[in-house]
């Protein structure tokens, strides 16, 4: 690749040209027998010869590894076959979106015994456990908007909270599914403009909205992702009851959030939100890079996104902000059993490391991969249903800069992240660095 090649088509992001599968993968170390299921990871992968103009817009490809009783039975990768993959335009000249023509390239989640590939603002696409594309899902005609790539499942009720944002009113719509996957609640939420709301949060009693100053720009349609930072758009975080569309808004320092770590209610009834915060400079530099600026044109990185905390007090209307770390971080994750509840541990990745934050002790543990290896999102899998919050495994696909070096699925003991992985699954090919993944136990597919 030349220095003029867009960044999303080069190095550790370079797409692979085909779909393959391999069986009986080599495992270094010992896979925990508790890990019986599938690890799926989603990300953009343009077809050979295609340049979609932005890293975020390439068609989705799922990379899957099947683990069973200490064995790595198979690896396979499959494009998610949507109308977009078949050539239909994603967005019309007026900015309108075909809900069945998304790239389905951002995340892959399980809910109600089904597997969905997701991309915000479009319908989810259902997949088989073997990664065949089954088709778009609108939940029996009840979903008339798109669906976020970051829905939140309440660990107590099993309900799935989700939303859609759009380029024309209503700019934000809230939805909720039952544990069995029935869409039961939908209503608009008032925001002043077409903000790009990539993620949100829930607590036991609330939904937390991120109304931040990256907004749709009609003049940019047809040139990659048509969003840019606006100094005129106020940064706000909203707190809404799960059954009450009234939102209490808190104005915060100008910033942007791609990904939430977790939110919770503290003993004083305040809402505490932990997320990866981008300043204006950090956002602009990151957007320039993922937008495809050739490496020769990318400025030295001077600002980083890092872990931040907002404490919102509904009783007083006041908000406080606190930087929890000054180091770079992204793709935060928690034990899914702690979503919306108090959590001690939060996991994330730096470019060449997997990171664990211990909020009780104020400690940060790191597993360094080396400068040529890039860390993928670390997904926590509990050792058992009743194990402690940090008792389990972290799964992450790591990718080398060298296109001839195959990727690896690392399995770490979450309680000792700095140590050598307990198991390394050697994959049969390089897996481009991508976005989000999920661990899907066998039992979740047979309910």
3-class SS of residue 12: helix
Q: State the Cα–Cα distance between residues 138 and 148, nearest whole angstrom.
A: 13
Inter-CA distances, 357 with 103, 264, 312, 347, 417, Å: 33, 16, 21, 6, 11
Tell me: is residue 259 an annotated ligand-binding position. Answer: yes
Q: How confident is the model at residue 447, as a pLDDT? A: 45
Q: State the Cα–Cα distance between residues 64 and 124, nearest whole angstrom.
A: 18
Q: How confident is the model at residue 1, as a pLDDT? A: 47
Q: State the Cα–Cα distance between residues 410 and 86, nearest whole angstrom.
A: 34
Q: How confident is the model at residue 445, as a pLDDT? A: 78
Tell me: is residue 412 an annotated ligand-binding position. Answer: no
Cβ proximity of 258 and 278 under 8 Å: yes
3-class SS of residue 407: coil
| pLDDT one-digit tens code per residue, 228-249 | 999 999 999 999 999 888 999 9
Q: Look up residue 429 and give its DSSP letter.
A: S
Tell me: is residue 150 an annotated ligand-binding position. Answer: yes
Low-confidence ranges of the chain (pLDDT < 50): 1, 296, 447
Q: State the Cα–Cα distance between residues 307 and 45, nearest whole angstrom.
A: 28
**Count of CB atoms situated within 10 Å of the CB of 185:** 15
* Residue 215 β-bridge partners: 195, 228
DSSP string, 284-344: HHHHHHHTT--GGGPPP-----EEEEEEEETTTTEEEEEES-SS--EEEE--GGGTTS--S
Tokens of 74: 């198979």
Tell me: is residue 198 an annotated ligand-binding position. Answer: yes
* Residue 396 β-bridge partners: 410
Cβ proximity of 159 and 183 under 8 Å: no
3-class SS of residue 106: coil
Question: Which of 78, 76, 73, 77 lies closest to 26, judged by CA?
Answer: 73
Burial 399-421 (b: 16+ CB within 10 A, else e): bbeeeeeebbbbbbbbbebeeeb
- Cα 259-263-265 angle, rounded to 5 deg: 165
Backbone angles phi, psi at 386, to 5 degrees: -110, 15
Q: How confident is the model at residue 86, as a pLDDT? A: 78
User: What is 7-445's CATH superfamily?
Assistant: TolB, C-terminal domain (2.120.10.30)
Backbone angles phi, psi at 330, to 5 degrees: -155, 175
Half-sphere exposure of 401 (CA within 13 A, CB side): 9
Question: Which of 153, 159, 195 lies closest to 339, judged by CA?
Answer: 153
Q: How confident is the model at residue 218, as a pLDDT? A: 85
Q: State the Cα–Cα distance between residues 327 and 245, nearest whole angstrom.
A: 36
Burial class (CB in 10 A: 0-12, 13-18, 19+), 200: buried
Q: How confident is the model at residue 142, as a pLDDT? A: 97
């Amino acid at each position: 690749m030349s220095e003029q090649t867009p960044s999303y088509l080069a190095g550790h992001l370079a797409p692979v040209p085909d779909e393959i599968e391999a069986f009986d993968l080599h495992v270094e170390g010992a896979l925990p027998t508790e890990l019986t299921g599938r690890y799926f990871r989603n990300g953009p992968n343009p077809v050979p010869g295609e340049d979609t103009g932005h890293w975020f817009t390439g068609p989705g490809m799922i990379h899957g590894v099947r683990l069973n009783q200490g064995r790595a039975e198979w690896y396979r990768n499959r494009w998610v076959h949507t109308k977009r993959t078949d050539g239909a335009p994603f967005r019309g000249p007026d900015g309108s979106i075909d809900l069945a023509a998304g790239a389905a390239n951002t995340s892959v989640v399980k809910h109600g015994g089904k597997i969905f590939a997701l991309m915000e603002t479009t319908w989810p696409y259902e997949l088989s456990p073997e990664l065949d594309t089954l088709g778009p899902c609108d939940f029996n005609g009840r979903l008339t908007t798109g669906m976020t790539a970051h829905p939140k499942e309440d660990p107590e009720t099993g309900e799935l909270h989700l939303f859609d944002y759009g380029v024309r009113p209503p700019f934000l719509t809230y939805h909720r599914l039952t544990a069995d996957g029935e869409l039961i609640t939908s209503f608009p939420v008032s925001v002043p403009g077409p903000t790009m709301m990539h993620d949100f949060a829930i607590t036991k009693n609330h939904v937390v909205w991120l109304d931040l100053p990256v907004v749709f720009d009609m003049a940019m349609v047809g040139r990659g992702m048509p969003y840019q930072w606006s100094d005129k758009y106020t940064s706000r975080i909203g707190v809404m009851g799960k059954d009450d569309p009234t939102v209490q808004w808190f104005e915060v320092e100008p910033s942007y959030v791609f990904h939430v770590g977790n939110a919770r209610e503290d003993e004083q009834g305040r809402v505490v939100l932990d997320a990866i915060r981008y300043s204006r400079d950090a956002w602009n530099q990151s957007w320039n890079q993922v937008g495809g600026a050739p490496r020769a044109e990318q400025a030295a990185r001077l600002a980083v996104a890092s872990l931040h905390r907002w404490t919102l007090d509904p009783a007083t209307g006041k908000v406080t902000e606190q930087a929890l770390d000054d180091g770079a971080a992204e793709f935060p994750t928690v034990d899914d059993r702690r979503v919306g509840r108090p959590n001690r541990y939060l996991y994330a990745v730096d470019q060449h490391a997997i990171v664990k934050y211990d909020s009780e002790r104020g400690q940060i543990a790191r597993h360094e991969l080396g400068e040529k290896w890039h860390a993928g999102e670390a997904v926590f899998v509990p050792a058992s249903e009743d194990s402690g919050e940090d008792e389990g495994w972290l799964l992450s696909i790591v990718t080398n800069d060298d296109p001839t070096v195959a990727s690896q699925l690392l399995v770490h003991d979450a309680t000792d992240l700095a140590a050598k992985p307990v198991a390394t699954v050697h994959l049969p090919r390089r897996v481009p660095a991508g976005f989000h993944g999920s661990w899907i136990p066998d039992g979740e597919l047979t309910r």
